[in-house]
A = this chain, B = another copy of it.
Amino acid sequence: MALISTTAKPEPASGANAMTRLEEAFADEMEQVNALIIERMQSPVGMIPDLAAHLVSAGGKRLRPLITLASADLAGYQGDAHFKLAATVEFIHSATLLHDDIVDGSPMRRGKPAANTVWGNAASVLVGDFLFARAFSLMVETGRLRVLDILAGASSIIAEGEVRQLAAIANMDMSEPEYMQIIEAKTAELFASAARVSAVIADLPERQEVALDRYGRELGLAFQLVDDALDYAGNAKKLGKAVGDDFREGKITMPVAKAMLTANATEQEFWTDVFSKTERTKSDLDKAMKLISSHNAVQLTLDQADLHIQNAKAALQYFEPGKTRTLLCDVCDFVLERSF
């Protein structure tokens, strides 16, 4: 593999392999982050590392910590606090995943039974709390108060976004701007913070700190919109979860919002009825998929994601061209084009 990749011609800068190139460029640094993650999820209470390992060490794209590492490099940071911050970001992400699976009642996560399916809700709640607390201990060690302020603030915004989504279940009046606010809070805030904290530790001027925040935020918005689209168009095996999960959970996401926007009266009635039921059947999903397809709603969602991808790329203009800037730019295409 190494032979092939070093002797092959440079591949085109498309999204298809941008994630791999980002991973390879920061493989050594990521190894240190992974070691830190393993070290800090240890506990004499065996259930904790068992459950945490199920989630933290097994799979996942590690996109958020990679953004922290790449942002630190882009910022010219010379110290080693970025390792701890990358691990912090992944811990916060893992804690929210554990708690989300309880909220959603999801049986699967990344192609494996979700932790709550294996260990139960009680353990998932508590191990999530443990990871969250360890995340805070890790970032306290960096000794940078502004970083702590940013990540603690992000954590409450994430929880707010999740509660807001929960409260909005079956709310047919939810507007697109309101939906965008929810995903900005629940998903994009952590991407924004993951990038921004690297600017802080590198003591970048404010405009570059804001630019990195903007980069992460727009990328996060696109990431979530693509996630929403994949839930109605993805390949279950590649996704590692069932297609139609959002629909079954009664979550009105962007593809549904787009399909409703141009729905006729009969279709509107279908949407209202189907989301006011406590459960949605396979035939409900089939009908929903058909409407989403006829309204081109998946593509419209991806088009909107593309706008945010363009914003993310534009934010990088505050930095000098270079290898890392190119990688961060190209990974935007990966986020847009990914099928899992």
A contact set with B: CB distance below 8 Å: 43-48, 95-96, 99, 102-103, 121-123, 125-130, 132-134, 136-137, 140-141, 143, 145, 148-149, 152-153, 155-156, 158-160, 162-164, 166-167
Contact of A122 (CB < 8 Å), options: B122, B153, B166? B166
Number of copies: 2
Residues of B within 8 A of A163 (CB): 43, 45, 47-48, 123, 126-127, 130
Please measure, in the bound complex, the distance between the C-alpha atom of A127 and the C-alpha atom of B158, giving whole angstroms: 11
Q: Are B133 and A155 in contact (CB under 8 A)?
A: yes
Residues of B within 8 A of A149 (CB): 137, 140-141
Q: Are A129 and B99 in contact (CB under 8 A)?
A: yes
Q: Are B136 and A166 in contact (CB under 8 A)?
A: no
Residues of B within 8 A of A134 (CB): 156
Q: Are A103 and B125 in contact (CB under 8 A)?
A: yes
Please measure, in the bound complex, the distance between the C-alpha atom of A48 and the C-alpha atom of B48, giving whole angstroms: 28
A281 vs chain B, min Cβ distance (A): 22
User: In this complex, what residue of B is CB-closest to A120?
Assistant: B166
A50 vs chain B, min Cβ distance (A): 10
Contact of A132 (CB < 8 Å), options: B132, B137, B141, B153? B132
Query: Can you give 17 A-B contacts (C-beta < 8 A)?
Result: A46-B167, A47-B166, A48-B160, A48-B163, A99-B126, A99-B129, A127-B159, A128-B129, A130-B159, A133-B159, A136-B136, A136-B148, A137-B149, A137-B153, A140-B148, A143-B145, A148-B148
Residues of B within 8 A of A102 (CB): 121-122, 125
